[in-house]
Structures are given as structure tokens and as C-alpha cells.
Structure 1
Amino acid sequence: MPESSYIPWIIKYRPKSLSDYINQEEAKTILLNWLKAWDKGSPAKKAVLLYGPPGVGKTSLVEAISKEMNCEVIETNASDFRRREDIEKRIKPAATKMSLSGKKRLILIDEVDGLSGTADKGGIETMLELTSITKHPIIMTANNPFHPDLKPLRDASLLIELKKLNQRDVVKLLKGICEKEKIFCEDEALKIIHTKNEGDLRASINDLQNLGLSFGKVTASLVNELIYYRDREVNPFDTLRNIFTSKYAWQSKLAVSHSQVDIDTLIEWLSENIPVQLTEPEDMYLAFQALSRADIYRGRMKRTQNYDLLSYISEMVGPAISLSRKKTKFKWIKYEFPKKIRMMSETKKARESLNKAAAKIAKVTHCSRETVKSEYIPMLRALYKVNKTLATQIMEGLKLEEDEIKVIVGKSKESTENTEPSSTGPMKAEESLRKFETSTKKMGTRARKKRSL
């Protein structure tokens, strides 16, 4: 067998220019215009976030454009460089220094959705800083860019979507490969390969190569016998569309089980978009009834730790909502990102500051953080409105940081900065703190007696 046979066809037939790159005309135009804007100076957004389902050709598009524009590509994978120090050591020098060859440079960062805001220390923050100081275009790729942790990167980047490839374009490309490799193929077999891979071109080419090299032909009977449907995760937008368009229970169950988002997040997505998709009042009522039951089961599952209830939740958010569409005609609409998730992401820093403040107060008052949040922090907030000086003395005595005080008193950064700091000194602060401890202990004793009664 010739040596070229061992070359993976996804490498051998990778597009060498934009003319070889099939479909995605809108995405190509937007990306080209953005890169040309760099020739006139830095554009408004110095980074692009290229997103779409697996195997649609995100990396191949960047490589094809770089060859077209004679650019040097510096390619990295975000999954390999997760921490702040890794990014500053490997990616930052390439983005901030000029090329020795004098060529234009492109920074390609694959799979940024592999970064996690909690597990990867400072990775997203450093990537965000990089997009503001870079001297070269940065192109990031992601399968699912809508994770809450990635919101800062989405806001700082130009989002370009690569849509799932249609059957006609995939079959045409696969047929062209078979002709070049001198392998007999049936059109029906190529259509089945596309269907089983759900438009994933990379997986389709891999399946074609496996069959072609093994049997010397690609027929419908071989494909049906040897190629299996691929289990893949589906983004929340397609998940919702699949749920709302399902005619059978098994279809909507499949949509729920293959979703990229967990069941809690899916409930938020459905709550936000049911009124948008189901416009008939009766359909909307039935869908929200199913969703409310799912929420009841979810609460019961968390309280009792009985995870057998998860199957009932899946039934409610899948088949029950799908079958609630009786009168509404399906329309292709743009689904909205859940406001609650967006708000939670935006208020994350404030919630962290509140938790830190609650932990400090709990240590002094010898009670739980939940009790501090429900009883003591509201008391401090009310006291601040009546007597700012005393409230400030108490909070200083508790060793609360500036951001923690701002969260407790509910003031914005600007208004807090305009408030004169307490000039009472440490002695007054300690005296106020002792009074606070005494009063809170009395309050806690009264509350415990009341609960015992």
C-alpha cells in the first residue's frame, strides 16, 4: 500500500484556500472584513470567537484564510494552557511581539470552551486581558460559547457562527474524495454517512476512509451495517428546537439526554423561551404546567437525595413540553439566553463578597452564615440608613474589606467613594464592635428560645 494511504484524509483533503472551503459564505465574509480592518489599524474588537458544532471546519477556515492572506499562524489549544502562568508564558509573547519574518501573524486559540472559571486559575481573566493588549488578530474557537463562565470573552469578541453543513455540500465533497482515491461509492451511502454523523464533516471523512480502504468501495449496505449513529452533545439552542419540534416522546428524550447543559440549566432555558415559541395560551399553559412539575420533582430530589426522580424530571422537560404544542405552528425564532443565568454571572463578584463578609461575621457571632445573611446583614443595612457612623464603626471592627461593606450597605462604587470614611479611630471601632457582639448574642438567645417554643 502506498505511503500516502496512511495519511488521514481529513489532513490530505483539508482546504488549501478559501475556494476549497465549502459553504459558510456569511462567516467567511465577516471574518475577512474583520481581518482587513486590522490593516487600517486595530478594530473595535481585537478578538473573534468562532463557534459551531464539532467537525464543521472552524480550524480549517482559519488555516485557509491565513494561506489566502499569507499570514503566519500561531496555534495553541486552550485545554493545554489553562492557568494564568501558562497563558502568560506561551501565548502572551506571541500576541504582543512582532514576527521576525515580517509576515502578518494570526493567533489561533482552539477550544476556549474547555476553560473553566473555577478549575482554571485566572485562565479566562488572562485571556480577556490578552484580547485588549494584543498586537495581532486573535481567533478563538468553541463548540459551545454560551457557558456563563465565558461571558467576559463573548462580550470582548466578535462572535461568528459556523452553521451545521447541509447534506448536499457534504455528499458533493465526499464524492470528490472517492473519485480522487478511485473508490466506488453510492450516493445513497454518502447520504447515510452524513445523516449518521449529523453534518460533522470530520467524522464523515473518517468513516469514508475506514470503509474505502477496508473494502475498496462504499455502499449503502456497508454503511448501514458498520457505521453507527454518533452520540454527541447538542448546544442549548438546538436542544430547545429539538424539544419543541419533536413529534414523539423518544425524540424529545433524546434531545434532553444529548444536551450540552445540565437539567437545572435546561429548565432555565425553557422557562425563558416557552412564551416565545408557544404563542397559543393553551399550549403555553400546558408547557409551564409540565415545567412546574419538573421543578417540584427537582426540589424533592435535592431534599431527599433520591436521584431516581431524575427520570421524572427528564419526562417533564422533554416529552411533556413537546406534546404540549397542539395549536401553535412552529416558527424559526431566535431563542433568548436566560436572564437569571446572565444575572447570576454578572453578580458573581458581589455574591462572593457577601459570602466573605458573612463568614467573618459568623465567626464573631458564633452562628451560621445563613443566619448572618438572614438576620445580621439586614440589621447592619438598616442601621447604616439610620446611623452611618455607628454602622461604619461596627463593620470596620469586623475587619470587613471595602467591597464587602459596599455589598452590605447596597451602595454603588461611585456613591461609596463619595462617602467620607470613619475618622473615629480603632478604639471607637472596637467599642462599637463589643456593643454589636452583645446585642447580637442577646438577639440570638431570644431567637433560639422562640424557636424552641
Structure 2
Amino acid sequence: MKNLPLSNKTFVFTGNMEMDREEATYKVIELGGRCTKALSGKTTFLVAGDNPGQSKMAKAKKLKIEILNEVEFIKMISVDMDQEIDKNAKFHSSVEKIDISDFGESIGDSAEWGKEPSKTKDKNTIYSNVLGWAEKYRPRNSNEIIGNKGALEQIREFIGNKENKKCLFISGSPGLGKTTAVQVICKELNVELLEFNASDVRSKKTLVEQVKNKISTNSVLKGKRIVLMDEVDGMTSDRGGLAELNQIIKNSNVQFICIANDRQHLKLKTLINNSSEVKFKKLLVATILPRLKSILKSEGCFLPDTVLTEICMRCNQDIRYILNVLQRNKDIKNIKDLKVESKDISKNTFEIVAQLFKPLNCNKKLELFFEDYTILPLFMHEMYIKAHAFEWGKRKINEDVTIEKIHMASEALSFGDVIDGQIHGSAQNYSLLPAFGLFSCLIPGQIRLNSQIVFPQYLGKLSKITSIGKKIANMALSSKVNMEDFSIYFCVILQRLSFLLEQSLVMECVGLMLFYDIDKDMLYDMFKLFNIEIKNISSKTKSSLTKEYNKHKPVTSIKKEAKSINEDDFISD
């Protein structure tokens, strides 16, 4: 421990850091240091991220403890990690060069295998050289996986503990090592892994044939088994596949691990709700560089840090893609000679919103805006007001936010809405899109965001309004009255219903609702839509309304029609 770079050094972290806190702690411990939660006279460094704790900062200055920002901390551990590169390079070269002569006794006469050992080694090192770097330097154990140490521990805990939920859902961008992590941890824990690519077994029929039948048979090994369903988001396009997978997981005694790149797909909601969840975060470039230098050194190559950083940025921190690009560009000396094939990187909408609130240049933000210019302004409208400066009247948690900035963002969003009317209205002036992006995303994005990004509530309310509008349109059509006149007439009906409820005349209210075919679930939303205030309605009246409506509502003919429909009619022979 004394020979390690950070021996006898103690670190304390405060504030919000881009690097995962658990990963930073792991890096310090790996290099011989230790981490504590509280400052003391023995503390060597205080690493301060965004919005650091003021009490810790004051105490650090009082105790004369050196304060590092995140960039300085990453540079420190990167330099120290470079000292370990020689060891890692030797380890990987010894792993890749396998000598078959070691197995001579089991294959045949050991004397015959030992006659020309040099030729035997040459043949086997050829295979290692033919392999792509992404496969050649695939991690053999969990210590070789870059970053996401907290996620690795969660996976290990799930596999090792039988009392957990039946399924673990792992999500994250491509190339972060999600599948490799499961494979190496299962190998370390001596757990049998049944691996399926969910995009190949996406239908109900193939799930039953390939997955259900395999896990129902007894294993040759008596130990624990884990079923890995990779790329489970590829099952969303086929009808019945995810529903069958949920049933298999529910009824099986075997634990499942499902991996997806896009966790935001609505069809995955049931699977996620019934699973424990682990999220792999995108890696920082500074954490990838030491590993790339180690690989280059073992290959006898060298590339400047500027070139390596540019490769990482262009590849969107996808380790697998980075290694493929690195192998093709291993001999270049100048960043101008870098050849990176364009890769279609599908950006998650939530990731784009997070980027829009970061201090990027205008051109970069405008490119992000054009990824999905229809929904991103709604996200910005939802999130800018959540970047509040105070938390329930307590101390200031975001000094960057002022009432002037919130006012500026609000004005910009309002003006952006006017521009949107010119784009999607009768004028159809799409040349205004850059201006729309400036006012709806770039200016509001100047506020530093603290809260978690959430889906726009507007879209949920819009869905309700649309369903109510369709209901009223159908009623107007059956009454043979135009929509404008019927809306006035319908407003009078709603006022009558609100009066009956305020007077607790439940039966009269139910009778009027049934006569006009007004759904009880839509009633209160209709009141809000037509700006009809409801006063003095007790909870007892509301519960009575629900009971009486459910008792007297007409049974629709849908169930009768459903009985006559045979499920086999939809399944072709």
C-alpha cells in the first residue's frame, strides 16, 4: 500500500460532480488513498464539485486543507494511473499470448509438442493479432471494467442474493460494458449464465421455444443460473413478446437480467416496475484515457492525448467503437489525419435536455435542438422553472439562478411560442427554426439546472383534452348540431351537473350523465376545461357519485363482441 501513488492521502468530496461519487472513491482507494465523509486534521484534499457545501468549504480553509476542483482531481488520478500502465500492459500481453504447448500432455505426446516451441507460439500469437482490439482487450475480470463501479457492485449483489427481485434491469448508452459486466461477474461468482439476444427472440412463439423450454430443463451444473436477455428494447416492435417475457419472469424460479440501451420506451414500463434497476452512466474522457494509453503501449504505439480525446468525443464515449477507431488510427501523429467513420448515435431526449442546460457553445446547442425540435421546447418549459434558487425557504442551493434569469427565460419561451405559431401555423415558415431554437432552448438553457429531468406534464394533459374533445365531437355529431353551438349547449349541461353535485343530488346527476353519455372519469376534467368552478362538494358526495354511476352505467357491447372473436384468427398458420 505504501508504494501506491496516493498512499497516506485522505480525500473528502462535496458538491455535484460529473464523475460518479462511488467511482471517484473507488479510484482513490485503488491508488492507495482513503475517503472520508467529514473533514478533519488528517484530511489531505477536499474535492469540490458544483454547488459545494459552504460549511465544508469554510472548514477546509480554516484547517488549511488543499481544495481541488473536479478537473484538477481527474488530472491528479490520471497522472497516478499512468504510473500503473506498465503493469497493466505486461498483464494484457501475457493474457493474450497463450502457449498451446502447456496443454501438450493432455492432447498428445509432450515431447512432440516441445520440439519447436517457438513456431507453436508464433501460430497462436497470430490469432491474437488478427482479433479486433475491442475483442482482444475485452475485460477478463470486473477490475478491468472502466467506471460505473457502483453499478458493478449492484449487479454483484443481485446475482449473489436470492432474496432480491426476480429481474434486474440494466440500462445505459451502447459500449459502456453492460453485457461484459454481467458475464465477468457471473464467471467470478461461478454462476451459470444462459445468454439470449432479445432482438432474436422477440416474438411470443420464439420466447416459449427458446427461453421458456431451456430454463424449465434441469441444469447439468448444480449451481445457480442467471438468464441474460440482451437488447431487450429490441422486443418492443413485436406484439406479445414483452408480455410473454414478463410472464416467464414472474412464473420462473430463475433470476433474469435484462439489458437495454433505451429505457424510456413506454412498452418497457411494466418490466422496469417489476425489476430492480441499475443505470450505467456515460464515462468521462479522463477516465478512459489511461486505459487507452495502456492498450497502445502494449501494442507498441503512441498517440498524443489530444488525438485520444478527440477520438473519445467523436465516438460519444462508446468504448467498443473507440477501440475499433483507435486500431485503425494507431499510427497517425496529427489530429488532422484522424479518420473516424460517421456513426449514427441515437441521442436520448433526456440526455439532450441535460446537455442544453450545460455551458456549451451556441452552435453545439443548436445542433442538439435540431435532434428533436418538436418536443425539446416542451422539456425546457417544464424544467427551467424547477431550477429554483431556494429549497423550501432554506439556504440558497443554486446561486447561479436569479429572478432576472428566470424572467429572461420566461420571456424567451413566450416569444419562442409566437415564432412556433409562424412555423406550424398557416404561414409554414420553417426558415424561422433557428430563431425558434434560440428563444425556446438556448436562452432558457443558460440557467444552471439542479433537479432531475422529468417528462413534460403538458403532453399528459394534452392527451386528456384530446380525448374529451373527441367525446364532445361525437356527442355533437349524434345531436346533428355544429361543434361551436354544441359547446355552448354542453357548457350549460356541465353547469347543471355542478349545481346538482353541490346540492348532493347524486341520483339526478347520474341520470343526466347517463342521458348525455358523459363518462364519470372525464367529468371533473370537463369542469376544468370549461372553467366551471366546483365548490362545497364533499368527499361523501363524490364517493356516492362513483357508486351510483358504476351501478347504473350501461354495459357496452364490446365485451359481447370480444367473446365472439377467436384469438387464433389473428395467428396465421
TM-score (norm 1): 0.70
The yes-or-no answer on 1:301 pairing with 2:423 is: yes
Contact 2:423 2:430 in 1 (8 A): yes
Aligned mates of 1:413, 1:87 — CA distance in 2: 44
Q: Quick check: 239-248 or 125-134, which moved more?
A: 125-134
| d(CA) in 2 for partners of 1:370, 1:103 | 70
Give unpaired runs (5+ residues) of structure 1. Answer: 213-217, 399-403, 427-453
Q: Does 1:312 align with 2:419?
A: no
Q: Partner of 2:135 in structure 1? A: 11
1:101-140 matches, within 5 Å, as 101-114=221-234, 116=236, 120-140=238-258
**Partner letter of residue 269 of structure 1?**
F
The 5-angstrom pairing of residues 187-266 of structure 1 reads 187-188=304-305, 189-212=307-330, 218-221=331-334, 224-227=337-340, 232-258=345-371, 262-266=372-376
Q: How many residues align?
A: 395
How far apart in 2 are the matches of 1:341 and 1:139? 34
Distance 2:356 2:187 in 1: 41
Report whether the alignment pairs 1:185 with 2:309. Answer: no
8 A Cα contact 1:290 1:316, kept in partner: yes
Pair 1:269-2:386 in alignment: no
User: Can you list the C-alpha shifts for 1:403-448, whole angstroms capped at 9, x where unaligned?
Assistant: x94534569999746756349999xxxxxxxxxxxxxxxxxxxxxx
Which residue is equivalent to 2:551? 421
In structure 1, what residue type is equivalent to 2:142? L
Percent identity, aligned pairs only, is 23
Residue of structure 2 aligned with 1:37, choices 155, 161, 171: 161
Does the aligned pair in 2 maintain the 1:148–1:341 contact within 8 Å?
Answer: no
Contact 1:131 1:156 in 2 (8 A): no
CA distance in 1, matches of 2:495, 2:215: 46
Q: Distance in 2 between the 1:83 and 1:382 partners?
A: 52
Q: Structure 1 residues 405 and 179 mapped into 2: Cα distance closer, same or farther (>3 Å)?
A: same
Higher relative contact order (CA 8 A, sep 6+): 1
Return closer, same or farther for 1:381/1:148 CA change in 2, 3 Å cut-off: farther
Amino acid at match of 1:421: K
- Residue 403 of structure 2 is matched in structure 1 by 281
In structure 2, stretches of 5+ residues that fail to align are: 1-122, 388-399, 526-541, 557-573
Q: How far apart, CA to CA, are the structure 2 residues paired with 1:96 and 1:369?
A: 59
Deviation at 1:321, TM superposition (A): 3.0
2:521 is the alignment partner of 1:407? yes
**Contact 1:193/1:223 (CA < 8 Å) preserved in 2?**
no
Match among 154, 157, 175 for residue 55 of structure 1: 175
- 2:196 maps to what in 1? 76
C-alpha distance 230-32 of structure 1, shift in aligned 2 (>3 A): same
Cα distance in 2 for residues equivalent to 1:375 and 1:9: 72
What amino acid does structure 2 have at the position aligned with 1:407?
A: D
For the residues of structure 2 that align with 1:172 and 1:111, how far apart are their CA atoms? 29
Check whether the contact 1:353–1:407 (CA below 8 A) recurs between aligned residues.
no
| C-alpha RMSD of the superposition | 4.2
Q: What residue is the counterpart of 2:290 in the other structure?
A: 172
Asked which structure has the greater CA Rg, the reply is 2
Task: Describe the superposition over 1:380-416 as per-residue Cα deviations: whole angstroms up to 9, x where unpaired.
Answer: 8966966256347647xx7xxxxx9453456999974
* Contact kept? 2:202, 2:235, Cα under 8 Å: yes
30 and 377 in structure 1: CA distance in 2 versus 1, 3 angstrom threshold: farther
Query: Are 1:25 and 2:149 matched, yes or no?
Result: yes
Q: Does 1:162 align with 2:280?
A: yes
